[in-house]
Amino acid sequence: MGGGEGSAYTRSTPVAVEFVQPSGVPILPRPSTAEKIGNRRDLTHGFHLVHAMEDQYMEDIAQGARFDDTDDEEKDENNDNLVLADYEGDDLPTIEWNREDPQLAEGTVFQMMMDCRNAITTYCILTKNDYEVIKSEPGRFTVKCPYKRCRWRLHASTMLRSTLVQIKKNSIDHTCPPRAGAPEEKSKLAKTMWLADAMIDWMRETPSLGPTRLITKIFEKFNIKYLT
């Protein structure tokens, strides 16, 4: 990753690196510890709820998933477009993604598996499609369209020598019709963890937003009135 032949990076020599997602969204340097603390103090108690629910959400996903021993996607696990072998621990860059309109092109990178899952959920809610979990592991996540005639399938996994998560397979669009439903329709994809993540940026911008206004914004953006 950069440098002439025989060159090496050391901890004492900062290197300015900027990666760009396939969607054009930059991968920013990880903020300092002081910046992290300052940002957290600015968030309301609703934002902290995200972290409190994360472990339970991961457990629920894992229990409800069906595991396959092998699949075609795993054969391409090492064909990463971006390898961050020179970064370790806190040196890993911070990945920014659009929570209101996520891009799921092959090669797109997420900071963690939770971000990837939430992006897939948001995408399906916006396009009025559903997904069925085929594989759910700490380092792999595979979903497909529940309609038998539709060949849409997406596979994401951690990158080579990295904890970052990358979309590895998403080459076929949905061929099924979108879900039909009135605005009052309850989306089974809109779980508590997704809801909390969808509200993060709004609470950062306006910490005084109350529950009623947040639910209204969810309806305005995602056309979901009643949440599961």
Q: What is the pLDDT of residues 12-26, one digit of tens each?
A: 444 444 455 665 555
- What is the total count of domains within the chain? 1
Kindly tell me if the per-residue pLDDT of 130 is higher than 80. yes
136 lies in some domain:
yes
pLDDT for residue 125? 87
Residues of the chain by 3-state class (helix, strand, coil), percent to 5:
35, 15, 50
156 lies in some domain:
yes
158 lies in some domain:
yes
Kindly tell me if the per-residue pLDDT of 72 is higher than 80. no
227 lies in some domain:
no
Threshold 0.85, pTM exceeds: no
2 lies in some domain:
no
56 lies in some domain:
yes
Domain span holding position 93: 19-181
Q: pLDDT class for 69, splitting at 50, 70, 90?
A: very low
60 lies in some domain:
yes
pLDDT for residue 66? 39
